[in-house]
Amino acid sequence: MADATAALFLDVRVGDAQAFEAALAPVIGQAHRLATGMLRDPAAAQDAVQEAAIKAWRKLDRLREGAELGPWFLGIVANECRTTLRSRWRRSVGSLDTARLAAPGRTGDVEQSQDVLSALAALRHSDRLVVVLHYWLDLPIDEVAAVVGASPSATKARLYRAVEKLRDRLGGEGRW
Amino acid sequence: MIDRDDALRTRIHAALDGVYQPDPGLLRRAVEAAERRQRHAPRLRALLAAALAVVAAVLVVVLTLVQHQLSNGNHGPVRTPAPATRHLIYTLDAAGTVAALDPQTLRPVWHAAAGAPPSDSDPASLLRLSADGRTLWVLPLTDRRGGTTLRSFDAASGAPGASIPLSSQGNAAYHALAIDPSNGDLVAVGQDATRILVTVADPRRGVVLSTVATRTLPGAAPVSLDLSTEARFSADGSRLYYSYGGGDPDRSGVDWVTVQGATLTPCAPARPGAACIPGSGLGFALVGNDLLTLDNGAPQHLIELTAGGAPVRRLTTGLAAAGVTDPVLSGDGRTAILVGECAGLGGLARVDLAGGAAQALSTPGAAGGLPSAATPCGSRPHLLSDGTLVVARLDTAAANANSPAALQVIDPTTGRILRQTTTLAGIVDVVEGP
């Protein structure tokens, strides 16, 4: 697998778009979900993934030999989301109305989804990132750690603190 | 904890699944965008580099202007100062050495050999600076009658530059040099066996453009030591004036040549072989359209002539017993400053050109000896940019390659010698620049 990945990367590095597409295919769905979870805006999420793909191709030679593309690309997507959120455009427009994006269903479900989205939106970028990666993309701690570039123990501690904040915002344990 | 964790996971899934909108075409679009950007990257990088270069240039200009504004104390318009230039005094001595001296210390900044001159040389306009002050042109003397090749030196460093042979004729020799202010051409005045010659050379190409015989000298050969001492262009660059004289009063005086590019049209003398403006043939100065020179009378007089040679007035020099070779104009052009030759008792006088009054600031020395060390005397006086006067002090009739001499800086308002330096050989020309 490592040899095949290395050959693939070599093709990508010499400008083979098909090879790049093949390398990106397994992770593009996760990347899109990550961007959606971080930005809560489908259009902005698509833009972020697209921009991350451009940067990934340009920076592919920085990917360590033998390293997996998935966590590395998700890290680029996460950074792109942070850049998007920091941009003046995002601040002036604001995030998409969470009520409009809530899944259709019972009124109570919509309210609960709105609460969760609002609570996620209130988290710091780094806290929201570990929560989205672990609780929505269902990545195990070590893979979350690879994406955020921290040790598993540090990532676990960060996740614990993030969840505590999220629970506080959602009204405490009683509501789980 | 696990139950609570699962509950949280479920709620987050429920919330974000509602936001997520799968996009099957995203991968293709992302790859195409990456490929497109990669393809245009070199062009983008070039554009970025160009933009950065423009920004950097603008910043440099802005910072320079700001700095100038600050240095001006925020008063008045921002002016771009001229680059710092160092004024130097340039000398050519009878040993063929050209030197650049610090005007304050009179110590050499650089010196270089310009040629192998005769043992005795007559002072004349043999040094000229190009209009931009970067090149010093020298007419080194190869025999008493003159030189045959122009040589150039970097005015700042003394590094030798181009040389221009003036004539292929074996008996032609040049003794005065001027630079055409309109185009920078070099013009040398000399003579061959029977004629006075004016030669124009292009310093950029290093070639002679034209030579014209301006006057045919009657007789079998020119009188010994008849030479051109001074060559100057009129302010508008249309006329070159040169002096010629020495041994034969009938031939001495000033001629002019009308210059139109490389075409030279000599003036027409009143009688064949004579000067267009008969006179001493010594140095002269240009005052507007008039000519200021000295006669050979005893006592000697300062004479003003029109551009065509008609006498305007005759003024006393204030140095009755002295011999003066070269009049110098003060900075405002209102006063003639006269320095007596050392062999002719020396002294320094000022002549008010408006009223005609002469004032001797330093009286000539006693007859029968050389002027005292405190008495200004010499040849090739040159007014420096700081208003002081520099003079080549020669204690012999001609500049000698082996006789020590001196260069003196004099206050022309008092006649006091401010500083001087001893030279190993007599100085034959002095200029200042840039």
Residue B25: phi and psi, rounded to 5, are: -85, 0
Per residue in B169-195, pLDDT tens?
Answer: 668 899 999 999 988 999 999 988 888
Q: What is the pLDDT of residue B369?
A: 66
Domains, chain A:
2-90 (1.10.1740.10), 100-175 (1.10.10.10)
Cα three-residue angle B279-B282-B286, rounded to 5 degrees: 85
**A171 or B131, which is more confident:** B131
Q: H helices then E strands: how many in chain B?
A: 2, 31
pLDDT, residue A97, reads 41
Task: Pick the closest to residue B344 from B296, B384, B409, B413 (CA basis).
Answer: B296
pLDDT at A7: 56
Residues of B in contact with A33 (CB under 8 A): 16, 20
Q: Evaluate whether B188 touches B166 at the Cβ level (below 8 Å).
A: yes
Residue A102 banded pLDDT, cuts 50, 70, 90: very low
CB B287 within 8 A of CB B305: no
How confident is the model over A1-27, as a mean pLDDT? 67
For residues A144 and B288, give the distance between their C-alpha atoms in angstroms, rounded to a whole number: 92
Q: How far is Cα of residue B179 from the mean position of the Cα atoms in its chain?
A: 9
- pLDDT at residue A126 tops 60: yes
Quote the pLDDT of residue B177. Answer: 96
In angstroms, the separation between the Cα of residue B53 and the nearest Cα of chain A is: 24
User: Using CB atoms, which residue from A25, A40, A104 is nearest to B19?
Assistant: A40
C-alpha to C-alpha distance for B36 and B29, rounded to whole angstroms: 10
Residue of chain B with shortest Cα separation from A134: B9
Q: Are A35 and A77 in contact (CB under 8 A)?
A: yes
Residue type (1 letter), B384: L
CA distance B26 to chain A (A): 7
Lowest mean pLDDT segment, chosen from A24-38, A52-66, A74-88, B154-168: A52-66
What's the confidence (pLDDT) of residue B169? 67
Q: Which of A8, A57, A134 to mutate: most B Cβ within 10 Å?
A: A57
What is the model's pLDDT at position A109? 62
* Model confidence at A118: pLDDT above 70: yes
Element (H, E) at B128: strand B127-129
**Residue among A17, A112, A170 minimizing CB distance to B31:** A17
The residue whose two tokens read 């990545």 is A139
pLDDT of the residue at A96: 40
pLDDT, one tens digit per residue, over B26-53 is 998 888 888 787 776 666 677 788 888 8
> Is A117 in Cβ contact with B21 (below 8 Å)?
no
pLDDT in tens, A10-21: 555 556 777 788
A170 within 8 A of A119, measured Cβ to Cβ: yes
Judged by CB atoms closer than 8 Å, whether chains meet at B14 and A176 is answered as no
pTM over 0.90: no
Closest Cβ opposite residue A21 in set B11, B20, B27: B27
More confident residue, A93 or B34: B34
Is it the case that residue A3 has pLDDT exceeding 50? no
Q: What is the pLDDT of residue A2?
A: 46
Return the pLDDT at B197: 92
Of A80-84, A116-120, B293-297, B411-415, the range with the lowest mean pLDDT is: B293-297
List b or e across A83-117, with b for residues whose CB sees 16 or more CB atoms inside 10 angstroms: ebbeeeebeeeebbebeebbeeeeeebbebbbbbb
Q: Is the dihedral of CA B376, B245, B298, B332 positive or negative?
A: negative
Residues of chain B scoring pLDDT < 50: 1-2, 73-83, 220
Q: How far is B42 from chain A (nearest CA, A)?
A: 12
Q: Across-strand partners of B423?
A: B405
Q: B373: closest CA among B403, B346, B402?
A: B346
